[in-house]
C-alpha cells in the first residue's frame, strides 16, 4: 500500500482484501470528542463496542468525513490475516527472525489513553496523522492508572486527559510530562514502542490507518506476567507488613535478581521449577497451579 494515500484511495485498498470478515468497532457519541474512556464513575465506558463488517465501518467513516463533529469510530488491533487476507503478502516487511503479528487499525479522529503492551511494537502510519506520547515504565506512579481488571480495551489506562490535564487532581502528572517523548507521524513514518512503555495515541485526521507489528522476546509457553500480578494482589498485597517484606525478598531472590547462582547448590536434575523451562515443564506447572487455584 502506498503511504500517504487519500481517504478514498485507502478505503478502496482495504476493500480489495475484505472477505466478509467482521471486526469489533468502538463507537462513541460526538460529545466524547474522540476520547474512548470510562463514564463518570468508572462503572462503565463512554462508548459501545459492536461487531460490524469492515465495509460497513468504511461506509460510516466516509459518510462522516466532512462532519465537523462526528461520532468517534475506531477499529483497533485487528489481525490482518483474518480480516484482510492477502494484505500482508502485498505489503511485506523484513523483521528478520521476529515472528510478528501484523494488525490493522483505522478510524477517524480518536484518542486512546496511555497504556502499555507486553510485546514490542513497530507502528507504521499509512494514512492520516497520529501523535504518539511515550513514557518509560518508571513513570507508572505519575500516570495515575485506573482499574487493572476493568479496562476499555484489555490494558489498564491512565486516567489523565492528556489534552486537558487536571493537575489539581493529578499533580504528579507534571513530573511524568517531563519524561514524555512526543512524535507526530505522517504517512510513511514508523515508531518503535518498546515492551512495557506507556503510550498515548491520538489520530488527527478524518481518516487514519495504521499497520503494526507485535512480537515478544520470550518463548510462547510463557504466560503473561499480568496473571502473576493479579495473583499477587490476591495473595500477597494485604499480608501483614513483615510477611510482605519477607515475600518481597523471596521474589527478589527467585525472580527479579535470579541468576546462575540462585540454584547452583542444587543438582541440575533436582531443580524442577528452579531449572530452565520448556513447553512440557510449563504445561505441567500450569496444571498444578490450576488445581490449587480452583480449590
| Helix locations, 27-151, DSSP H | 54-63, 80-83, 87-90
Tens digits of residue pLDDT in 89-98:
999 999 999 9
Which of these, 212, 218, 176, lies nearest to 197 by C-alpha position?
A: 176
pLDDT at site 196 = 97
Q: Cell 503492551: give the residue.
A: 117
Which of these, 153, 60, 54, 154, lies nearest to 108 by C-alpha position?
A: 60
Domains of the chain: 7-215 (2.60.120.650), 225-293 (no CATH)
Q: 213 — phi, psi (to 5°)? A: -125, 125
Name the residue with higher pLDDT: 293 or 31. 31
Please give the share of the chain, as a percent, with pLDDT higher than 70. 98
279, containing H or E segment: helix 279-293
Strands 111-115, 35-36: pairing kind: parallel
Strands 120-127, 190-193: pairing kind: antiparallel
> Which residues, 6+ apart, have CB-to-CB distance to 194 below 8 Å?
120, 121
Cell of 151: 479496562
Q: What pTM was estimated for this model as a whole?
A: 0.93
> Which residues, 6+ apart, have CB-to-CB distance to 42 below 8 Å?
146, 147, 150
Look at residue 4 and tell me whether its pLDDT is greater than 90. Answer: no
Tens digits of residue pLDDT in 196-223:
999 999 999 999 999 999 999 999 889 8
Look at residue 3 and tell me whether its pLDDT is greater than 80. Answer: no
Tens digits of residue pLDDT in 100-109:
999 999 999 9
pLDDT at site 2 = 59
**What is the rounded CA–CA span in Å between residue 241 and residue 55?**
56
Look at residue 160 and tell me whether its pLDDT is greater than 90. Answer: yes
Is the alpha carbon torsion for 214, 148, 183, 186 positive or negative? positive
| pLDDT interval class at 19 (50, 70, 90) | confident
Tens digits of residue pLDDT in 228-260:
999 999 999 999 999 999 999 999 999 999 999
**What is the rounded CA–CA span in Å between residue 98 and residue 3?**
23
Tens digits of residue pLDDT in 162-194:
999 999 999 999 999 999 999 999 999 999 999
Look at residue 1 and tell me whether its pLDDT is greater than 70. Answer: no
Task: Say if residues 81 and 91 touch (Cβ distance below 8 Å).
Answer: no
Which of these, 110, 107, 116, lies nearest to 154 by C-alpha position?
A: 116
Q: Which residues of 80-93 are buried (b: 16+ CB within 10 A; e: fewer)?
A: beebbeebbeebee
pLDDT at site 267 = 96
| pLDDT interval class at 294 (50, 70, 90) | confident
Tens digits of residue pLDDT in 64-97:
999 999 999 999 999 999 999 999 999 999 999 9
From 42-46, 57-61, 121-125, 217-221, the region with the lowest mean pLDDT: 217-221
- Which residues is 203 bridged to in the sheet? 130
Amino acid at each position: 500500500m502506498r503511504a500517504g494515500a487519500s481517504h478514498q484511495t485507502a478505503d478502496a485498498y482495504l476493500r480489495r482484501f475484505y472477505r466478509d470478515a467482521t471486526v469489533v468497532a468502538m463507537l462513541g457519541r460526538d460529545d466524547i470528542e474522540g476520547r474512548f474512556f470510562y463514564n463518570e464513575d468508572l462503572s462503565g465506558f463512554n462508548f459501545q463496542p459492536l461487531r460490524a463488517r469492515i465495509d460497513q465501518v468504511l461506509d460510516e467513516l466516509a459518510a462522516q468525513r466532512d462532519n465537523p463533529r462526528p461520532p468517534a469510530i475506531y477499529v483497533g488491533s485487528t489481525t490482518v490475516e483474518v480480516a484482510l487476507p492477502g494484505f500482508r503478502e502485498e505489503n511485506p516487511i523484513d523483521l528478520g527472525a521476529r515472528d510478528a503479528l501484523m494488525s490493522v487499525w483505522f478510524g477517524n479522529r480518536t484518542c486512546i489513553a496511555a497504556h502499555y503492551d507486553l510485546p514490542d511494537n513497530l507502528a507504521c502510519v499509512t494514512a492520516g496523522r497520529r501523535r504518539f506520547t511515550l513514557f518509560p515504565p518508571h513513570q507508572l506512579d505519575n500516570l495515575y492508572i485506573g482499574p487493572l481488571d476493568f479496562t476499555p480495551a484489555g490494558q489498564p489506562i491512565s486516567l489523565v486527559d492528556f489534552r486537558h490535564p487536571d493537575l489539581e487532581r493529578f499533580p504528579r502528572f507534571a513530573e511524568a510530562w517531563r519524561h514524555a517523548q512526543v512524535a507526530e507521524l505522517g504517512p510513511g513514518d514508523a515508531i518503535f514502542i518498546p515492551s512495557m512503555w506507556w503510550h498515548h495515541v491520538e489520530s488527527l485526521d478524518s481518516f487514519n490507518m495504521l499497520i503494526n507489528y507485535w512480537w515478544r522476546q520470550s518463548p510462547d509457553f510463557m504466560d503473561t506476567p499480568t496473571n502473576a500480578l493479579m495473583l499477587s494482589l490476591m495473595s500477597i498485597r494485604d499480608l501483614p507488613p513483615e510477611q510482605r517484606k519477607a515475600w518481597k525478598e523471596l521474589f527478589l531472590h527467585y525472580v527479579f535478581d535470579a541468576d546462575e547462582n540462585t540454584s547452583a547448590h542444587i543438582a541440575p536434575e533436582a531443580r524442577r521449577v528452579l531449572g530452565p523451562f520448556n513447553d512440557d515443564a510449563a504445561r505441567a506447572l500450569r496444571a498444578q497451579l490450576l488445581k490449587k487455584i480452583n480449590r
